[in-house]
Every structure is written in structure tokens, then in C-alpha cells.
Amino acid sequence: MLRYSLRRLLGAIPTLFLLIAFAFFMIRAAPGGPFSRERQLLPEVEANLNAAYHLDEPLYAQFGRYLIGVLHFDFGPSFQYRDYTVTELIKAGFPVSLTLGGAAMLLALLVGVTLGCIAALRQNTAADYGVMSVAMTGISIPNFVMAPLLILLFAVTLHWLPAGGLGGVRNMVLPVVALALPQIAYLSRLTRGSMIEVLRSNFIRTAKAQGLPTGQIIFRHALKPALLPVVSYFGPTAATVITGSVVIEQIFSLPGIGRFFVAGALNRDYTLVMGVVIFYGALIIAFNLLVDLAYAWLDPKVKYQ
Amino acid sequence: MKRFGALAAMAVASLALAACGGNGNGTSPAAATVQVGGATGKELADVQILRIGNGAEIQTLDPHRGEEVQGSNVQRDLFEGLVNEAPNGDIVPGVAESWTMSPDGTTYVFNLRHDARWSNGDPVTTADFVYGFRRGVDPKTLSTYSFILSPIVNADAIAAGKQPPEDLGVRAIDDYTLEIKLSHPTPYFVGLLQHSMTYPLHRASYEKYGAEFTRPGNLVSNGAFQLADWVVQSHIKLVRNPHYWNNANTKLDEVWFYPTEDQSAELQRYRANELDLTDVVPATQIKWIKENLPSEFVVAPYLGSYFYGFNTTRPPFKDKPKLRRALALAIDREVITEQVVAAGHTPSFGWVPPVAHYQPQQMPEARWTQAEREAEAKRLYAEAGYSAENPLRTQLMYNTQENHRRIAVAIASMWKRVLGVDTEIINQEWKVYLDTRNRKVDTQVYRHGWIGDYNDAFTFAEMLRSTAGLNDTGYSNPEYDRLVTAAQSELDLDKRGELLEAAERVMLADMPILPIYTYVTARLKKPWVGGYESNIMDHHPHKDLYILEH
């Protein structure tokens, strides 16, 4: 397993390199630059700024300089947030996104899988229809509608919870729920489908024929294989969710790194965009590896090769 | 069937929730039940904390490197320049107690107060100002706003790297007497001194911390407040500066700035009593706000013009003043201000908003009825060679934003209805748009807005000079240039005003731009926020604000 993981990690290096190269040249190809603004700068001032940020060098030289920086975990200064480096911004934002996303994914996993199992076990009953209707609604109501509705009800009308901002646990409740709801919906549907399929398979029928109690059949035999599709969905989604949700972070005024994606691109904050893209890419690669490792644990048919 | 029932129940529940948003009682419970200001109406609250929505996250707290409104709002509390601003926007003494101007208008001498202190207790002296001014124009600072200091002797040459910062026309006569020499008379110079580019800098802490001098714990400032905490994208917390010379009159103990990019979220936080003042209000919610929170809705004129520019360097608008005029007359500005933007904006037929020492100019047709204007528009349109059979086909470009889109659609339909113009509406993302507009190749009619840098007509007038980098219309009229240049060095304020007014009349006859409305600031203010006054610059130093009992 160790050898497999090492090989996968080595294989990630060219992927990351391609990602860096692609993002680097794409953002620079976009019209406008970090210093384009309504009032044009004096040509000397603009030249001076470009020189200070090495934007006057040929692209390949800038790329080389950037790669060397990345190897030293130096992502450069942010063009937009001038008092901070990109590394500092990511370091400050990631714990917030991680807490928010981690809690939301955990909640989604617990509630989604439980609901999915209930629906599968009570197939075609009121409970099943109830869960699936809620799930359909959860999937079809987007975050940017659900989040303000939650704020309106729990913060503005009832005054139970804060409407936004960083603070204690109470500040996290609404954003976590808003972020988890669509995932709960999706996971419950996924679990239900896969559980129904597993329950119809031969080995479960054998278990039933042997007279094993239902609880044991579900937890010991059915749950693990039923979770396979959930795991393959969960990995990349978890990476997306913990690197920050632009919508949720904006609506709840949370200082995660999700907001840097959009702000960075719109401001042509080259270094910030690059930093966030690399960070996000590395996380996705790591999560995909974890998913593959989890697969082998859940499914004895899978072997590392 | 059961499934349908559950879905229907959900739908009803969501609608009920949405209805809460539409018609719910917006007055916060606290405001409804407690008498604001206690028995006298002027009682101060025990807790003097002000929480403000401040728009997008600020770029920097470095006064010489900032360029946006949000950062200036915080810097204005942290630093104090030679002058300061009263709640109504008037320039009042700051660190300088008094000042004199030489008869030729090119030398100013400022007398600094002796009790001004930095937040660490050090005295504020002329050396701090000289250091600050020099740093502002020094190319090494990488400032993008050094042009603010351009009236000062040698400022432009230093910014361009042709002379050392020591050559700047700012000199310490002694520790408390500062002399500033200008390269030409600049009647609005004292007004410029409210800008952050003119703030002093605490040299010792700057040299000690370098790029990190603006961090909490490092930043030494001389304003009414000092920096206590800053979490990017979350909040900036300022606390009272006990060493501020006028600390006895500062009432607030803390000011919290919250980044609020999402306008709807800002409104929700205001309604949940988490903000006392908002930065803006969402355009789509203005109707609801007017109905539900009328007493908390503050609308005031702002130093900005919203207009469309014509690219006068290319067809179809090159050398076609009549056509440009026809388009300007065909639009019904009241429909736009009352039904499209609807926040209380003033329709405008002129370019310069109401500023000091200036009589606002208007197109002569401003006093006509809309029907008369439309008739005139049709006449001019025909004279320009267009008709129903041969309509003008043009492109209208705007930067991607909901309000700009709504205005563009409204104007295109007005042109269609009155003149039969076929308009193609195109949007571009902001930075792409800036590029396109400035190249003057792909634009025909384009959206533009301009917020003045200082309270003077010149900040608008200079923009349409043929040599101005900001002149994306390509407008060039030697008479206009001559009048604006003459005004630039005219010391007599009345004469200067007349020159600038004459220039605007020349421009309005040529119509390189199509004025639409004058900007307003529209925000929500809790009834317990005292000392707040609207002003055309929308500058609100929080030293003058306080929280009433509630």
C-alpha cells in the first residue's frame, strides 16, 4: 500500500505541473491586468510597477521564477491584498473553509447515508417517498436561495442565530447546514439506490436464508458495498467543499478561501489565483488517492497494483 | 400521489418563507420597543461600538498604496492629515491648526499643533509629514495614486523616477512648521489634503516592520483610532487611540468594519442587528426598504456622474454632434431614475455634479417637457441623415452588472421607440471592458461613471481634455482644452468657476457624452447612530459619530 501511495504521489507531480502551467498562461492570457484601471497610470509609474512584480520579463522567465517560488512554498505577494502574501492568505482562510466544509461533509455523510438507508429499507413506503421528496427539493433548491431563506428565518425573524460573520459555534450552524443540505440530498439518493441494489444481490439473499438478524445483515454485509458509490462521489466533492464555497462564504461573510477564487480572477490577482488553484489541485489529488485507498478497504475485490 | 403531496408541502413552506422576506416587518424588535436616546433623546449608550458594512475587502491599510474607497474609509479613522473633515464634509483643521497661502497661490505654510501624538505616544512633527509626502511620490513605494500630489513642485518628475524624492517641494521649516510649494496655483489644494496620500507616516515603525508595518500590533497611527485586529475577509477592528489630541471628544470606543461584498447578505445582517450602517443597499430591495424601513433609509447626493460616452473617433458618432444630441434627448431620464434604479438618483442633463464654487450646467433642453425633447430628437435624427427606412444601427457596451444591464435595456428601448434605432447590447467583464473602452476601436456607445477624487469641478473637467488618459470618448475640442487649462491656474474662485462652466457648455453643445443621472449614496442607518451627516464626498470620519441609548 505504501508503494502504491508513493507511486501515486509521484504520478501527481506531472499533473500538478500541467495544472500550474495551464493556469499560469490562462490567467495571463485574459485581457486586462492587475494594474489596469479607469485612470491610466503614468507610463513610468506603470513600468515601475511591472518591473517590481517582474511582469516586464518574458513569460517563460516569469513562469520559471514562479516555479522556483512554488518549490519553496513561496506563492508571491498578492496584487490585490497588498499587505499580505498569498501563502498568508491561504493559511488564514483555509482553517475557516476546512471547518465549514469538514463539518458540512460530516453532517451530510451522517444524515445522508442514514436517510438513504431508511429509504432503501422502507422502499416504496411513505418514509421512502418522504425522504426522496426532501432530497429532490434539496437538490433542486440552489445554495444561493436556501442560504438567504435560512438567514431570514433563523437570524432576521427568530433571532436565534447570527446572520453571518466569524465567531463561535453558533455562527457556523447556518452556513454548515446550508452547505450540507444539497450534499445530504445527493448522498441520500446515492445511498438509497446503491443499497437497494446490494440488498437484491445473492450474498444478502444467502445471509437472509441463513437466518441472520436484519441489523447484522445491514451493518456487517450490506453497508460496506453499498457505500462504494458514496465514497467515489465523496472524495472529489469533499475537496471542493473544504476548499471553500464561494456562495456560502459570501452570503455568511466568512473569511474562507472560496472567496479568493472569484475575487482573485476578477482583480487579475495573478499570484492569488495561482496559489488557490495549486492548493485546490493538490487537495483534489490527495483526496482521490484517499478514495482509492478507501475503496480497497471497502471492497476486497480491489487490489493495489 | 403521496410524493406530490410532500413536494407541494415543501413548496408552500418555501413560499411562506419567501413571503416573510417580501412583506415581513423589517423594523428590528429592539428599535420598535426601546426609546432611542433615552428620556432626552440624546442619552449615550453604555457600549460605544459602531459596526459598519464596508463593501469589498480593503486592498491595504498603507495610506500611500491604497486607491479604493473601502480602504480610505478605514485609513480616515486611523490617520489624520494636515486637515480633517467635519461630518458635513467641510475641511477643518487636522494636525495643522492653521495655514497660510502666499499671494501667488503657490506656497502654503502649515502650523502644526503641538499636542498631536502617534498611537504609541510619540509627537507628530513636520518630519513625519515630509517623510509621508516623499514616500507617496517615491516610485519605490509602488503607489498608484501619486498623481494626487502632482500639484506639488517636482512631484510628477519624482514619481516618474527622474528626480530623487528629496527634491519634492515639501519642507520642514521647524518641527511644527511645514512649507509646501506648488508648481502652479491649485485652488482645491487644501481640499486635496483630506486624501490618504497626504497622511504622515511613523518612520521608526515603518522602518522596523517594513512590508508588515500595517499589521495589528505593528501599525502606529495618529488618528482618533488605532488598529486592534484585522482578519482578511472577516473584519477590521479599531479601538480608541488614547493619545489622539482630541481624544476627549471621541465618543466611540470601537469601530468594526465588515467586508460586505454581497449586498443582500449585508441587508440581512443589518436586519439581524449585526450592522449599524450599511455600505449600500441592493437595488432590487429598494422598494421593500422604502416601504418597510423608510426612516432608516438615508439617500444623499454623491460626487459622481453616471453617463454614456460616445466614441467620437469612429463612425457612426464621429463628427455627428446632431446624432449624439438626438440620442441624448430621446431618453426619458425620469423613467430610469424612478423606475429602473429607483433609489432617489437625480436625472442629469449636465456633466459636473453639484460641487463647491460651481454653477451646475445643463443642456438647454433640460427645462423642456419630455415630449418636446423627443420631437427635437426626431428632428436632429433626421437632420443627421437617419430615418425609419435607414435607421441607426449601433452597439451599446457596458460592464457586467445587473443595474447597468437594466439601464442599457431601458435606454435601447427608448431609442427604438422614439427614433427607431437598432441597438445591440454587449456586456464585458470589468477589466476586459476597461481595455476595450480605452482602445476606442470596438466601442460606439459605452457606459461610464465617474466619482470625483476631490470636491471640485476640475476632477470632472480634466477628464474630457483631449490629452487626458481617462478620455475614452476621444473628444477633442481646442476651445474646451483652452478653458480648462485657463481654469487650472486661475486663483479667483469665481472666475475659475466661470471658466469651467463655460468649458462644460462647450462640451454639452458637442455632446461627446450622454449624461444620465447624478449618483447618490443610499444606505441604511440604525436610529441609534448619532452624529452622522450626509455629504457629497461620502466621507464619514467616525470620530464624530456616537451610539444613542437603545
Q: How high is the ipTM of this complex?
A: 0.87
CB proximity A206 to B under 8 Å: no
- Given a cut of 70, the residues of chain B with pLDDT beneath it are 1-34
User: Which amino acid, one-letter code, is at A199?
Assistant: L
Judged by phi (left if over 0) then psi (alpha if -120 to 50, else beta), residue B70 lies in: alpha
Q: Is A30 on the interface with B (CB under 8 A)?
A: yes
Cross-chain CB nearest to B142 (options A52, A93, A259): A52
- Verify whether the Cβ–Cβ distance A253 to B24 is below 8 Å: no
Burial class (CB in 10 A: 0-12, 13-18, 19+), B478: exposed
- B159 close contact with A: CB closer than 8 A: yes
Pick A31's closest partner by Cβ from B3, B10, B435.
Answer: B435
pLDDT value for B323: 94
pLDDT of A243 higher than 80: no
pLDDT in tens, A141-192: 888 888 989 999 999 888 899 988 888 889 999 999 999 988 888 899 999 9
Q: State which amino acid sits at residue B145.
A: Y
Contact B21 A152 (CB under 8 A): yes
Neighboring chain A residues of B78 at a CB cutoff of 8 Å: none
The residues facing A89 across adjacent strands are: none
The amino acid present at B229, given as its one-letter code, is D
Partnered with residue B450 across adjacent β-strands are: B305
Query: What is the predicted pLDDT for the residue at A130?
Result: 86
* Exposure string over A109-135, b if 16+ CB within 10 A, otherwise e: bebbbebbbbbbbeeeeeebbbbbbbb
Chain A positions touching B142 (Cβ under 8 A) are 48-49, 52
Which residue of B lies nearest to A164 if distances are taken between CA atoms?
Answer: B269
Give the pLDDT of residue A11.
83
Is A256 touching B (CB cutoff 8 A)? yes
User: Which of A75, A11, A102 is closest to A279 using CA atoms?
Assistant: A75
Tens digit of each residue's pLDDT (9 = 90 or more) over A202-219: 888 888 888 888 888 888
Contact A256 B233 (CB under 8 A): yes
Would you call B400 an interface residue with chain A, using a CB distance cutoff of 8 Å?
A: no
**Out of A45, A93, A252, closest to residue B159 by CB:** A45
pLDDT of residue A44: 82
Of A37, A52, A152, the CB nearest to B434: A37
Select from B17, B59, B161 the Cβ nearest to the Cβ of A152: B17
Interface of A with B in 140-179 (CB under 8 A): 141, 148-149, 151-153, 155-157, 159, 162-166
B493 touches chain A (CB under 8 A): no
Among chain B residues, the shortest Cα distance to A255 is held by B233
Cβ–Cβ contact B268 with A under 8 A: yes
Nearest-5° angle of CA A138, CA A141, CA A146? 95
Alpha-carbon distance of A140 to B437, in angstroms, equals 40
Q: How far is CA A103 from CA A173, B73, B355, in A?
A: 9, 35, 53
Q: What are the φ/ψ torsions at residue B394 (nearest 5 degrees)?
A: -140, 165
Name the percent of chain A lying above pLDDT 90. 22
Lowest-pLDDT range, A19-28, A256-265, B96-105, B248-257? A256-265
Cβ contacts of residue B51 below 8 Å, gap of 6+?
A: B256, B258, B274, B275, B276, B277
Q: How far apart are CA A176 and CA A171, in angstroms?
A: 9
Per-residue model confidence (pLDDT) at position A49: 86
Residue A244: its pLDDT value, please?
A: 64
CB < 8 Å to A90, chain B: none
Rounded CA separation B107/B488 (Å): 16
Confidence of residue A221 (pLDDT cuts 50, 70, 90): confident
Nearest CB neighbour to B232, from listed A37, A45, A92: A92
The Cα A14–Cα A152 span in angstroms is 47
Q: What angle do CA B434, B437, B439 make, to 5 degrees?
A: 105
Chain A residues in contact with B137 by the CB 8 A cut-off are none
CB-based contact, A132 to chain B, within 8 Å? yes
Cβ contact (<8 Å) for B65 and A82?
yes
Are A259 and B233 an interchain contact pair (Cβ–Cβ within 8 Å)? yes
Over residues A58-97, the pLDDT tens digits come to: 999 999 999 999 988 889 889 889 899 999 999 988 889 8
Q: Do A253 and B271 touch (CB under 8 A)?
A: no
Mutation for testing the A interface, residue in B15, B145, B234, B447 having most A CBs under 10 Å: B234
> Backbone phi, then psi, for B147, in 5-degree steps?
-65, -20
Contact list, A268 vs chain B (CB under 8 Å): 431
Q: Say which of A52, A156, A266 has its CB closest to residue B271.
A: A156
Q: Is B435 on the interface with A (CB under 8 A)?
A: yes
Residue A17's alpha-carbon distances to A11, A30, A60, A115, A270, in angstroms, are: 11, 20, 14, 41, 17
CB contact under 8 Å between A39 and B470, yes or no, is yes
pTM over 0.90: no
Q: Which three cell numbers stand for residue B273?
A: 442587528
With beta carbons less than 8 A apart as the criterion, state whether A72 and A57 touch.
no
Residue B63 near residue B214, CB atoms below 8 Å: no
Distance from CA of A30 to the nearest CA of B (A): 8
Tell me the nearest-neighbour CA distance from B196 into chain A, angstroms.
16
In the DSSP assignment, the letter for residue B535 is: -
B139 in reach of chain A (CB within 8 A):
yes
Contacts of B24 in chain A (CB under 8 A): 152, 156-157
B235 touching A, CB under 8 A? yes
Q: How close B418 comes to chain A (CA, Å)?
A: 33
Contact A151/B268, CB-based, under 8 Å? yes
Contacts across the A-B interface (CB distance below 8 Å): 172
Shortest alpha-carbon distance between residue B438 and chain A (Å): 9
Q: Which long-range contacts (CB under 8 A, 24 or more apart) does A39-46 make?
A: A39/B147, A39/B469, A39/B470, A40/B438, A40/B469, A40/B470, A41/B144, A42/B146, A42/B147, A42/B156, A42/B159, A42/B160, A44/B139, A44/B159, A44/B160, A44/B161, A44/B162, A45/B139, A45/B143, A45/B144, A45/B146, A45/B159, A45/B160
* Close Cβ partners of B177 (under 8 Å, ≥ 6 residues apart): B109, B110, B111, B112, B126
Residues of A in contact with B14 (CB under 8 A): 141, 149
Least CB-CB distance to B262: which of A149, A157, A250? A250
For an interface test with B, give the residue of A82, A145, A149 to mutate (most B CBs within 10 A). A82
As a whole number of angstroms, the distance between CA A99 and CA A95 comes to 6
Are the Cβ atoms of B2 and A253 closer than 8 angstroms? no
Shortest Cα–Cα distance, B371 to chain A (Å):
36
Nearest-by-CA chain B residue for A81:
B59
From CA B242, how far away is CA B226, in angstroms rounded? 9
Contacts of B143 in chain A (CB under 8 A): 45
Residues 39-68 of B with CB under 8 A from A: 56-57, 59-62, 65, 67
The grid coordinates listed for A134 are 426532501
User: What does the pLDDT read at residue B17?
Assistant: 38
Residues of A within 8 A of B19 (CB-CB) are none
Q: Which of A32, A157, A252 sits opposite B434 (nearest CB)?
A: A32
Question: What b-and-e string marks burial along A201-212, b requiring 16 or more CB atoms within 10 Å of the CB?
Answer: eeebeebeeeee
- What would the grid cell of residue A142 be? 440552489
- Closest to A132 in 3D by CA, of A176, A179, A196: A196
CB contact, 8 Å: B3 with chain A? yes
Nearest CA-CA distance, residue B60 and chain A, Å: 5
